[in-house]
């Protein structure tokens, strides 16, 4: 029997959407086995854009006396120590990329005994009956009370509730194994044609996405493979 992983649900709030150029300004985590939480604001060393503050409510004033990422990273590593599954919504295309980029900035490696689980990827694959898969939509679909959306710890707590309901008693090692398997997608997961069968999505639109590099972003590998399978985009 395979040993299960220690579940660490986590979330980041940032100054923007570019993992290479923007900065983490808040990180939170929940060890669902012990109930312990981790939460920290981070001084990014640059002004927080107004449009970012409108999303998460974090301002320059709130982080002016906060520690740097290097200081917070030390404590976060200690909190997640061991063979852990770091679980986040849109992990593969957002939170994980920010972690990797920020550890690189302080010349540290992501611990080799960490694995990453993307709950958005799971929802898209195993709940294709739902029209949307954003965390707050899933919260409503599973009947959980509203939280303070887009603050890290509040989102983490909701994510734990939602994902626990989605996987039931399936062990995390099995969840990770299933997500690691390639599986073709039948419906468009995002954009103006979201929910349509892939065969019904206009070819010009798909080719435009391909030319923009959308399918080469982490998290979209299966979608790219699916469109290649039906011959809409080239295989090379």
pLDDT at 41: 97
- Secondary structure (H, E, C), the chain: CCCCCEEEEEEEEECCCCCCCCCEEEEEEEECCCCCEEEEECCCCCCCCHHHHHHHCCCHHHHCCCCCHHHHHHHHHHHCCCCEEEEECCHHHHHHHHHHHHHHHCCCCCCCCEEEEEHHHHHHHHCCCCCCCCHHHHHHHCCCCCCCCCCHHHHHHHHHHHHHHHHCCCCHHHHHHHHHCCCCCCECCCCCCCCCEHHHCCHHHHHHHHHCCHHHCCCCHHHHHHHHHCCCCCCC
Q: So what's the pLDDT on residue 1?
A: 39
Q: Could you tell me if 118 and 91 are in contact, meaning their C-beta atoms sit under 8 angstroms apart?
A: yes
74 counts as catalytic: no
Tell me the whole-structure pTM to 2 decimals. Answer: 0.82
* Domain boundaries, given as residue ranges, for the chain: 6-180, 182-236
Q: Please report the pLDDT score of residue 149 as a whole number.
A: 65
Catalytic annotation, pick one of 150, 160, 193, 210: 150
pLDDT tens sequence for the chain (236 residues): 366 799 999 999 999 999 999 999 999 999 999 999 999 999 999 999 999 999 999 999 999 999 999 999 999 999 999 999 999 999 998 999 999 999 999 999 999 999 999 999 999 888 988 988 999 999 999 999 887 666 789 999 999 999 999 999 999 999 999 998 877 788 898 889 988 889 999 999 999 999 998 988 877 888 888 898 888 888 76
Question: How much is the pLDDT for 222?
Answer: 84
What is the per-residue pLDDT for 3? 66
User: Domain spanning 6-180 has what CATH number?
Assistant: 3.30.420.10
């Amino acid at each position: 029997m395979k040993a299960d992983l220690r579940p660490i649900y986590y979330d980041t709030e940032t100054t923007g959407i570019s993992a290479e150029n923007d900065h983490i300004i808040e990180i939170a985590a929940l060890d669902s086995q012990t109930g312990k939480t981790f939460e920290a604001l981070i001084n990014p060393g640059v002004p927080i854009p107004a449009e970012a503050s409108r999303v998460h409510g974090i301002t320059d004033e709130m982080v002016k006396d906060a520690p740097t990422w290097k200081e917070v990273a030390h404590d976060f590593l200690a909190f997640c120590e061991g063979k852990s599954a770091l679980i986040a919504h849109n992990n593969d295309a957002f939170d994980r990329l920010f972690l990797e980029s920020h550890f690189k900035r302080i010349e540290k490696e992501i611990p080799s005994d960490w694995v990453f689980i993307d709950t958005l990827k799971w929802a898209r694959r195993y709940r294709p009956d739902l029209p949307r898969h954003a965390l707050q939509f899933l919260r409503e679909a599973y009947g959980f009370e509203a939280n303070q959306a887009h603050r890290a710890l509040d989102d983490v707590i909701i994510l734990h509730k939602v994902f626990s309901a989605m996987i039931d008693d399936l062990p995390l090692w099995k969840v990770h194994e299933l997500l690691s398997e390639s599986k073709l997608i039948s419906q468009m997961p995002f954009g103006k044609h979201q929910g349509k069968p892939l065969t019904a999505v206009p070819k010009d639109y798909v080719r435009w996405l391909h030319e923009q590099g959308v399918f080469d972003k982490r998290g979209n590998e299966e979608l790219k493979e699916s469109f290649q399978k039906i011959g809409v985009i080239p295989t090379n």
